[in-house]
Amino acid sequence: MVQRSQSVNRQLESFLGDVTEYGTRNADDLGQDQKGVRQVRNRGSRLGSLGAGLATLASVVALLFSGFSFYETVLKQAKLRFYEPPLIYMYRQDYRDVFAIPLTISNDGARRGTILSFDLEITHLKTNVSKTFQNLHFGSSPKAERRLFTPITVPGRSSFSDVVLFHALKTGSFVEATGGVELPLRITLKMNVDTSGEWFAPKPPAPVTFDMTAAGITGFRDMESGRPTQLHDARWTKERTKNTE
């Protein structure tokens, strides 16, 4: 009887041990499964956060690009630039010097720019005599067909080209002798632009200074009849003189 009881106890203990081992193994497996699920969820959460960050960054970049494009094509104020001519003409009319200066002006802004007038000052580099001039006409010669000067409007992202006749405000001349005489002149041109009716007033362009010179000067009578004295870019004249020596 006692042996049978001991046998039953051993069997019961073995069975309980098997049950305990099975429960422990299942618990470990379940823990590992839950850990894996958590890892997958964590990786998914990180990927989701990264995707959301990239989407936000792309939206910000697109917004900045759109804003910059809108500024460049719509809001950017007029930015006028003057290009120096390689050749100008000098005439005489009513005992005054007259200069025909080709003007090329570009507008690098998006909004239009309007030039109301020009301030022109010319200085003889050897005598230091300076004269001021006013823009009165469009045209290549006082004797040829000419048009009254009107304000120049340059649309955004475009340019304007024409020849303007500048008349001296006072009588007299830079010319002291005609013929094969050098006439070195320094020209300073300022554009007076319209600053009204804008959200932000455009910045007036800085005055432009360049040197012109003539290797020979036509007589007063010839200049008054429409035959000009030609003034070239001083750099071109120097190079030409160097090559002929």
Is pLDDT at 71 greater than 80 in this prediction?
no
Question: What CATH homologous superfamily does 80-244 map to?
Answer: Immunoglobulins (2.60.40.10)
> pLDDT by residue (tens digit) across 46-61?
656 777 777 777 777 7
Is pLDDT at 74 greater than 70 in this prediction?
no
Residue that wins the pLDDT comparison between 21 and 158: 158
Mean per-residue pLDDT, 215-227: 94
Report pLDDT for 236. Answer: 74
Angle, CA of 205, 106 and 158, to the nearest 5°: 135
First-to-last C-alpha distance (Å) of the chain: 142
Report pLDDT for 215. Answer: 86
Q: How confident is the model at residue 163 (pLDDT cuts 50, 70, 90)?
A: very high
SS (H, E, C) the chain: CHHHHHHHHHHHHHHHHHHHHHHHHHHHHHHHHHHHHHHHHHHHHHHHHHHHHHHHHHHHHHHHHHHHHHHHHHHCCCCEEEECCCEEEEEEECCEEEEEEEEEEEECCCCCEEEEEEEEEEEECCCCCEEEEEEEEECCCCCCCCEECCCEEECCCEEEEEEEEEEECCCCCCCCCCECCCEEEEEEEEEEECCCCCCCCCCCCCCEEEEEEECCECCHHHHHHCCCEEEEEHHHHHHHHHHHC
Is pLDDT at 27 greater than 50 in this prediction?
no
Report pLDDT for 242. Answer: 59
Q: Give the burial class of 152: count Cβ atoms within 10 A of its Cβ; 0-12 exposed, 13-18 middle, 19 or more buried.
A: buried
Report pLDDT for 8. Answer: 44
Q: Which residue has the tokens 């969820």?
A: 41
CA distances from 222 to 6, 31, 90, 225 (A): 146, 109, 11, 5
